[in-house]
Amino acid sequence: MSSEPLDIQTPSGTFETLVDVRWGDMDALRHVNNVAYFRYFEEARVRLFAAMGLDGAGGRYGVLAHSSCDFLIPLMYPARVVVGMKRVRTGRTSLELDCWIADAGDARTLHARGRNVLVCADGGTGRPVPWTDADRRAMDRCFAA
Quick check: is 64 in a domain? yes
Q: Is residue 17 part of a domain?
A: yes
Q: How does pLDDT run across 71-105, given as a tens digit for each residue?
A: 999 999 999 999 999 999 999 999 999 999 999 99
Provide the 10 A C-beta neighbour count for residue 86. 17
Sheet with 7-9: list strands edge to edge.
7-9, 14-20, 80-90, 94-103, 106-122, 60-71
Domain total for the chain?
Answer: 1
Q: What is the pLDDT of residue 40?
A: 98
Residue span of the structural domain in which 86 resides: 7-142
Q: Is residue 85 part of a domain?
A: yes
Residue 118 lies in a domain: yes
Give the three-class secondary structure for 14: strand
Measured N-to-C along each axis, helices 133-142 and 34-52 cross at an angle, to the nearest 10 degrees, of 120
Domain membership of residue 1 (yes or no) is: no
Residue 115, domain member (yes or no): yes
Give me the CATH number covering residue 83: 3.10.129.10
pLDDT tens figures, 111-136: 999 999 999 999 899 999 999 999 99
pLDDT, residue 1, reads 35
Assigned domain for 2 exists: no
Q: Give the DSSP H/E element, type plus range, for residue 65.
A: strand 60-71
- Per-residue model confidence as pLDDT tens digits over 37-54: 999 999 999 999 989 888
Is residue 32 in some structural domain? yes
